[in-house]
Copies of this chain bind each other. A is one copy, B any other.
Amino acid sequence: MRLGLGMRLKTPVIVLNEKAYVESAGKKGLELAKICEEVAVEHGVSIAICPQQLELAKIASLVKIPCFAQHVDAVEPGSQTGFVTLESIKEAGAVGSLVNHSEHRLKIADIDFIVTKAASLDLLTIVCTNNIAVSKAVAELKPYAVAVEPPELIGTGRAVSKVDPAIVANTVKEVKRVDEECVVLCGAGVTNGEDVRAAIELGADGVLLASGVVKAKDPKAALVDLVSGLG
């Protein structure tokens, strides 16, 4: 699905990063995307998905929820082998990209390049950060969203919104102070509806998560539980 000019995600939103898990490769990745679509429709909530890179164009053509690339490179189209341009994300039918995920950090000048160029192409950037200071710094670059994720909690099942509520609340406060339009997500360890509710109550516009759904025995049940925290 492609959002129209100037459109934004409906918030609160759950953004599911499929990562490079075995459980999200090939057909399984499409199944996950279909589950997200079903739950979004059935529950009337906003869910976006980040398929594995090689599957992005395929999955974006088969589901109606917003799709994001997991990563984009700070390069112009041209003689570049194996790099992902913002233009190719648009052509693939996606609405934007995660940027600077803790597993795929970028140079600051490259984040600035990506955020600026994405805006000119009407693509959404969700820039991941590791703490409050970096969140503020990134907000100065005017991305669509900042997603704060303390690296030490990623994949632990111990939700940032429960274990470290101050980082969520203060990131929201500081980022909005720099740019009140900026969407703020939080992530790391988010597993269930309570974690989501806690995040929303702390002022976040949504959550970014991965293993809590991708590696769940029953991903749909896990997702239904998560959306219960949205409102």
Contact = CB atoms under 8 A, between A and B. Distances in A.
B87 A19 contact: no
Copies in the complex: 4
A104 interface: yes
B25 A77 contact: yes
Interface string A19-32: 11110011101000
B137 A87 contact: no
Contacts of A19: 78-81
A5 interface: no
Interface string A103-140: 11111111110001000000000000111011011111
Given A112-B137, A138-B137, A89 B155 contact: no
Contact of A20 (B56, B75, B105, B112): B75
Contacts of A75: 20
Contacts of A110: 105
Interface stretch (A38-46, A47-55, A165-173, A189-197): A47-55
Interface of A: 17, 19-22, 25-27, 29, 50, 52-58, 61, 69-71, 75, 77-85, 87-92, 94, 98, 100-112, 116, 129-131, 133-134, 136-142, 154-155, 178, 210-211
